[in-house]
Structure 1
């Protein structure tokens, strides 16, 4: 199976990325000990439909048969988050199965319970491939994590783990009410675990230590890094004691040291059946050694079976594509890139919350034409540093030397920029100068704006805001421009929008998979541009937000976990466009732009060290340039 198209995480059957050094436990003894071979999930060959679908409807999955036995460790693998997600939603009972599984149902192992039990109450899903907050589509203020000033934002990680144990006291008499409640219930001050049993407390403490979150327990929940938040969500799901825990893309956003720690914990939990774990992985993800079986999702077909058998069937195509991509990389390596004017100048930058120092004396200069890889473990301060660059952090105004790009000419098509102190730059101007793709932006971007289309969403990139502007949907045009300049500006923006839509839209990734061959690129792109943003899959939404970050050619582009949620075709299309290797030969990034890629996987950076990529590493708030 391999992911080929991520381009350098060379993942093939002959050399599957291994975590065996950290996961010493094997499943051989476990198989021998479990002689009963109980059936955990049983779905005979069936077709899977949306509820309410007519008999003539196309099924979500055709001829889908799946049996999971005790002692097997499964991963559901798909090219896109939608493919994996559909399998998990089916397990959770959100799809119609025809014919239905025979008695005792889809989960035979639960039928041995002495009392009737609803099987769906014994399942838990934690997904990192979709938008977890404000699922209704409203915008939420993701900058709250930098201040945590609202009452609901003061809740600590420890408190959030057991919200039913300690009530949330808010308002002017919150302190007095909490003291009264603690006295009535015999809960000591500072004890946020309430009335947990000793066994529950020990389990909580063990999980917190195993996940490396002990020092984060008393931080406001909104102040946690993305990786810390993800680990905390997994712990919270485990504490609910499900029989089966479904984890969709659990490694996304985790730093190098956290991955083996998490996988070791999941292996141990699965062996002890507390709970049984089923992973959801992308095709480009490394497959843990302790996984024994794979359900490979390809469109509406699912191939299930032993890991080696399933992977061998998909390997040849992947290796062929990898060889093609590798040869292209060699042809493009060794490019010289000019360094231009200064775009970002940080000197002695600090961020503190009371006694806690998040960033300490950061010195970093970024110039035109540079490509940077920002590195650092979860909680090292990367997100805080980026929030200073975007101006989202309130402490960006008080830095003694934080110079960011500001418009210096009134060129109506391609303005030039010079650095100014952050407090002298209006936030709307800064938003125009910094293109951003990040998990926070993905979560916050509004889905409920009336009728917001893909075209509208991409067009917001010209202003950096969240609301479409202008009759053509390509942003606000400056009032001081004369009529001819306005027409030239609009024409350039329209052409630029079509360019990024064609380079990163379905005409790029669907052609890679051999579909829509009889339809022109512009027709495919036009149809896609009219779709509602809220109707897109998570991967498609992330591609649109990448288009948004690139469309206005801002002087600085921040790509934070940019590949998260994308399928292999999308990743290939995006990398090709960023590197100027797409079939049109157009570059997403110009010579006057700087790019900062934030990822824990070095191979996810679109450019290699031989192409001049520089590295800036954060370690406990201290930044250094890695030579």
Structure 2
């Protein structure tokens, strides 16, 4: 058989198991040379699992995967390393980074590290991470040059994604797999990213990416649709784009039980604040880098704000001042809950008044932590710590999980429950201490359309049933709950 008629990659009737779960049963899929595929389907349909199966991470108990591109590569390249295999020719970029610190290669970053200049210096620069002295041609589309001297921990979402792809391309892979690469990117960065993927494909690398149906780069030639671990369609890009778009109806959300919420909120301390947040001419810089410039912003009790801006506009830094995570707060005129920062209150006095929800928090919990432990960690305010809770705390946590419809996951490992339920678990974690301020930092990142609608409806109902001040960050304004009626937009560190 001549090599030319072999496919690039072939999955032949594979049955895949992970832990005690069957992910795929008898699945077949073939990729021909020069084909570029997008995998799409609802959250939980198996997109990430399929990429990980090709990567060799899961147990294939039946059928096989034929890596024909590896055989073809071996015929023209000499390999002396006995451990060299098909995995050496595949690069995978997920949506959670796995960067390490300089001082201890086994620890990941801690959440507040990026805002502490001393500890941020313990994070490698982009140049150190990539191990390059000059930019090779294959990285030109990534615009890496201006990032080389930056510390990894200081990168914005979009910059982090570019660096992860740069590291992947430096492996000179035959196959590049991108898992949900558009997550957390603003409109302009998404456009830049699409043209970058097109350039990577034009350079001769085969690309498979999981994505939403709305975000398929032009150079993708084929689309695979998945649902519940089964292939529901194989299309050329043109045929796929001509399919009628299924109008997704808003999910029927059971009304949150107002009585239970009222009971939980009844025993909260009554807070009466003049200003929840007041900033006067706030300036934040790291070295020569100005991150925030002359910010004036006041948030009154029970106001509902949207915080908007492009990747790298300064939103995370602004939130870090409110959250008590940024030591530069003391050098600025900042009042939180009517107290000037630096007038004697501790970071913990601030944190106990704030409920914080961000998909990023997911990374700081252990693989064994169950969902109830994660919810109870909201009482201690230490991200990633799951110290034992009191009986009363467990009861409050379980009541919130019941209200949000996730109590069936209480004793399951947090990282193994569906992504939308993980997000509601983090919401329950924010609510357990009845905080006067809720901060949402892109809470719907990575959820499908139905799950985003569901999360939005939950927030809208909570706003109806309990007094709360809210700051909501997102790149997609359609995700904003209807209660939001005030807006602050940043561009390059300034309010516009």
Question: Which TM-score band (shorter chain)?
Answer: 0.7 to 0.9
For residues 158 and 393 of structure 1, the distance between their equivalents in structure 2, rounded to whole angstroms, comes to 26
Q: Which residue of 1 aligns with 2:458?
A: 577
With over 3 angstroms needed to count, the CA separation of the structure-2 counterparts of 1:90 and 1:107, relative to structure 1, is farther
- Contact preservation (8 Å) 1:387, 1:393: yes
Cα deviation, 1:392-449, whole Å, max 9, x if unaligned, reads 00111221x21112xxxxxxxxxxxxx2112232211211111112244332x2316x
Per-residue Cα deviation, 1:499-550 (whole angstroms, up to 9, x for no partner): 53134344xxxxxxxxxxxxxxxxxx2x411223354455543331122123
Secondary structure of 2:56 counterpart: coil
Gaps of 5+ in 1: 1-35, 166-192, 329-338, 406-418, 475-492, 507-524, 581-586
SS in 2 for 1:562: coil
| Equivalent in 206, 210, 229 of residue 280 of structure 1 | 210
Q: For the residues of structure 2 that align with 1:142 and 1:360, how far apart are their CA atoms? A: 24
Contact 2:356 2:430 in 1 (8 A): yes
Tell me which residue corresponds to 1:454: 371
* Partner Cα separation in structure 2 for residue 155 and residue 99 of structure 1: 42
- 1:61–1:302 contact (8 Å) kept in structure 2: no
Residue of structure 2 equivalent to 1:367: 300
Please give the alpha-carbon distance, in whole angstroms, between the structure 2 residues aligned to 1:447 and 1:387: 23
1:438-587 matches, within 5 Å, as 438-443=358-363, 445-447=364-366, 452-465=369-382, 466-472=385-391, 474=393, 494-495=395-396, 497-506=397-406, 525=407, 527-536=408-417, 539-580=420-461, 587=462
Does the 8 Å CA contact 1:81/1:566 hold for their aligned counterparts? no
Please tell me whether the aligned partners of residues 124 and 246 of structure 1 are also in contact (alpha carbons under 8 angstroms): yes
SS at match of 1:60: strand
State the shift of 1:201 in Å: 3.6
Matches of 2:114 and 2:294, distance apart in 1: 21
The CA deviation at 1:250 is 0.9
Could you tell me which residue of structure 1 aligns to residue 87 of structure 2?
A: 120
Match of 1:99 among 63, 84, 100: 63
Q: Distance in 2 between matches of 1:459 and 1:236?
A: 37
Q: What is aligned with 1:319?
A: 247
Which runs of structure 2 are paired with 1:603-622 in the superposition (5 Å)?
A: 603-607=478-482, 613-622=485-494
Contact 2:16 2:24 in 1 (8 A): yes
Residue in structure 1 matching 2:177, options 239, 242, 246: 246
Q: Which residue of 2 aligns with 1:358?
A: 291
Structure 1 counterpart of 2:335: 403
Contact 1:92 1:120 in 2 (8 A): yes
Pick closer, same or farther for the CA change 1:432–1:138 going to 2, 3 Å.
farther
Q: CA deviation at 1:388?
A: 0.2
* CA apart distance, 1:269: 1.5
| Residue aligning to 2:25 | 62
Shift of 1:622: 0.9
Greater Cα shift, 138-147 or 220-229:
138-147
Higher RCO (CA 8 Å, separation ≥ 6 residues) = 1
Shift of residue 108, structure 1, vs aligned partner: 6.1
Deviation of 1:80 (Å): 2.6
**Residue in 2 that maps onto 1:601:** 476
* Higher alpha-carbon Rg: 1
Partner of 1:132: 98
Quote the offset at 1:236 in angstroms: 1.9
In the TM superposition, what whole-angstrom CA distance separates every residue of 1:134-168 from its partner, at most 9, and x where no partner exists? 79997742222122424862532223221xx6xxx
1:3-82 residue pairs with structure 2 within 5 A? 39-44=7-12, 46-50=13-17, 59-80=22-43
Q: 1:295 to 1:110 in 2, by over 3 A?
A: farther
Residue 570 of structure 1: how far off its partner (Å): 3.6
**Distance change (3 Å), C-alpha of 1:131 and 1:247:** same
Quick check: 1:540–1:566 contact (8 Å CA) kept in 2? no
TM-score, normalised with respect to structure 2: 0.83
1:589 and 1:440, CA in 2 relative to 1: closer, same or farther beyond 3 A? farther
Q: Deviations over 1:220-270 (max 9, x none)?
A: 222222221122111221222111111111111212211111111111211
- The DSSP-based 3-state class of the residue aligned with 2:336 is strand
1:592 corresponds to: 467
| Partner secondary structure for residue 267 of structure 1 | helix
C-alpha distance 292-368 of structure 1, shift in aligned 2 (>3 A): farther
1:605–1:108: structure 2 CA closer, same or farther, 3 Å change rule?
Answer: farther
- Is residue 76–residue 296 contact of structure 1 (8 Å, CA) maintained in 2? yes
TM-aligned CA deviation for residue 562 of structure 1: 0.7
Out of 110, 116, 128, the residue aligned to residue 147 of structure 1 is: 116
SS at match of 2:428: helix
Question: Does the alignment pair 1:295 with 2:195?
Answer: no
- Contact map agreement 2:90 2:175 (CA 8 A) in 1: yes
User: What's the offset of the Cα at 1:365?
Assistant: 0.9
Hey, what does 1:185 align to over in structure 2?
Answer: none
